[in-house]
Amino acid sequence: MQEQWDTIGRTKRLHGPWKNMLAFHRDPLRVLSWLARTESPVIPITIARWTLYLITGPDELAQVFTHHVRMLEKGPGMDRENPLIGRGLLLSETPWWETSRRDVKGALAPGQVRLKADRMADTIDQALDRWPTGSFDVFPQLVWLTAAVVVSSLFEASLDPETLSVMIEASGHLMEFFYHRTRSFVRPPYRAPWPLNSQFHGASKVLSRVADQLYAQKERAPSAFLQSLANLSESDRRAQIITFLIAGHETTANALGWTLDQLARNPEAQALARQNPEWLEACISEALRLYPPIWLMSRKSLTSMQLGGIDLPAGTSILMSPWVSHRLPQYFINPETFSPDRWINQPAPSPYTYFPFGAGQRSCIGESFARQELRLTVQRILARWTLIPLNPKPTEPLPRMSLRPRGGILLQLVPSGA
């Protein structure tokens, strides 16, 4: 990669604006990491005819995360016009977003999440009972497990295995649609005869049916989450249920995959995590640092503002990357190394240097749920098996809407005590 500084202004170039675009689309993790090799907390990026700003400074990140409602909104690429989940909690904006978050907040409060631990553990154990012993790609199994957990523990409902599989497949198609749409120069209306739109509508029909099936169970399965949606219109209710269905299993499956991958490649850490709850938590936190499922976040400024001494006009596109921030050597010693001991008897990372679940007003409302699920799942897997990697080469990250393991997570599972 040809590295040079643009002598006009402060924009760091790769090969010029249009080649920058191609480089970013081909390998965004590498491009963003290279751009961050500067002391500047605000890094302009010229891509095609646009200039975006990558924010890495903690003070500047604090401004972005804590001034969302007043000065910023989600974007670019976060399509609130989406007819399926545009009014869901992930994509909506104030005032609807504030109302939506307040309605579901109680069901996802840490105290309520702890009450779901037994139900969550039962679902995890049932899923693990289906796992073979031996060598295989565990990632599809993790996707199934996390989907089953969100259905049983958040919605307190049930889906037959065939419906669960169809839901997982439709969610995957929808995530691929979002990925391609957010990176496309051309975004036709959703009703336009565009090939990708047919993929969207097919997945939407499946997920809408599943959402209705889950909501229909609210009377015999008194889920606080489903009850909180009782006063919504049918389309708004579907938007919320589908948002949590997808977000509740996609990102958690990736977090679990990366955690198991790192534990398999670090036998000493694996043994300590098996024996010590504090080490288990440390290994999960460290995997989230190295491989944050949400690797890129974006905002668009609603008003003119200043970040890091740079004046940004209204409409400016801003990027924040946990992948980048979590690997900055000024905040983490040996940042590329899996070192769970950095979380043992050590001060917490400085604010806005570690944010796998986001931060500020738009931080992930499901963080407590996800962390409990991660802890219970890894704990139960380690109690059953010793994990051995099948491929000595590091698993390559695949940056899509979330950070997936390219080629899956290939492990040998050896029964404990064998």
CATH number at 97 reads 1.10.630.10
pLDDT in tens, 367-400: 999 999 999 999 999 999 999 999 999 999 999 9
For residue 34, being part of any structural domain is answered with yes
Min mean pLDDT across 53-62, 190-199, 227-236, 249-258 is at: 190-199
| Distances, alpha carbon 222 to alpha carbons 56, 234, 258, 267, in Å | 43, 19, 34, 42
Per-residue confidence (pLDDT) for residue 133, from 0 to 100: 85
pLDDT in tens, 190-218: 999 888 899 999 999 999 999 999 999 98
- Domains identified in the chain, total number: 2
| Chain centroid offset of residue 129 CA | 27
Residues 277 and 301 both lie in one domain = no
For residue 256, being part of any structural domain is answered with yes
Query: In the listed set 355, 385, 404, which residue is the last one of a domain according to the structure?
Result: 355
Tell me which residue range forms the domain holding 317.
Answer: 1-66+295-355
For residue 75, being part of any structural domain is answered with no
Query: What are the strands of the beta sheet with 134-137, ordered from one edge?
Result: 134-137, 410-415, 385-389
Residues 321 and 215 both lie in one domain = no
Residues 344 and 308 both lie in one domain = yes
Residues 226 and 308 both lie in one domain = no
For residue 308, being part of any structural domain is answered with yes
Per-residue confidence (pLDDT) for residue 2, from 0 to 100: 37
Residues 47 and 193 both lie in one domain = no
For residue 308, what are its two tokens?
A: 């890091």
Residues 197 and 315 both lie in one domain = no
Task: Please tell me the distance from the alpha carbon of residue 10 to that of residue 156, in angstroms, as a whole number.
Answer: 53
Per-residue confidence (pLDDT) for residue 101, from 0 to 100: 93
Residue 26 pLDDT class (50, 70, 90 cuts): confident
Residues 309 and 213 both lie in one domain = no
Please say if the pLDDT value at position 418 is more than 80.
no
- Collect all residues with Cβ–Cβ distance below 8 Å to 271 and sequence separation of at least 6: none
Please say if the pLDDT value at position 73 is more than 80.
yes
DSSP string of 261-325, one letter each residue: HHHHH-HHHHHHHHH-HHHHHHHHHHHHHHS-SS--EEEEESS-EEETTEEE-TT-EEEE-HHHH
Is residue 79 within 8 A of residue 91, CB to CB? The reply is yes
CATH number at 331 reads 3.30.43.20
pLDDT in tens, 124-170: 999 999 998 899 999 999 999 999 999 999 999 999 999 999 999 99
Residue 1 pLDDT class (50, 70, 90 cuts): very low
Residues 283 and 206 both lie in one domain = yes
Query: In the listed set 337, 355, 373, which residue is the last one of a domain according to the structure?
Result: 355
Per-residue confidence (pLDDT) for residue 12, from 0 to 100: 54
Mean of pLDDT over the chain: 91
pLDDT in tens, 81-127: 888 999 999 988 888 889 999 999 999 999 999 999 999 999 999 99
For residue 24, being part of any structural domain is answered with yes
Mean pLDDT of 332-354: 97
Give pTM, 2 decimals.
0.94
Please say if the pLDDT value at position 257 is more than 80.
yes
Please say if the pLDDT value at position 49 is more than 80.
no
Residues 288 and 299 both lie in one domain = no
For residue 71, being part of any structural domain is answered with no
Min mean pLDDT across 20-34, 52-66, 345-359, 378-392 is at: 20-34
Query: In the listed set 329, 355, 381, which residue is the last one of a domain according to the structure?
Result: 355
Task: Please tell me the distance from the alpha carbon of residue 250 to that of residue 254, in angstroms, as a whole number.
Answer: 7
* Sign of the four-CA dihedral 140, 146, 149, 150: negative
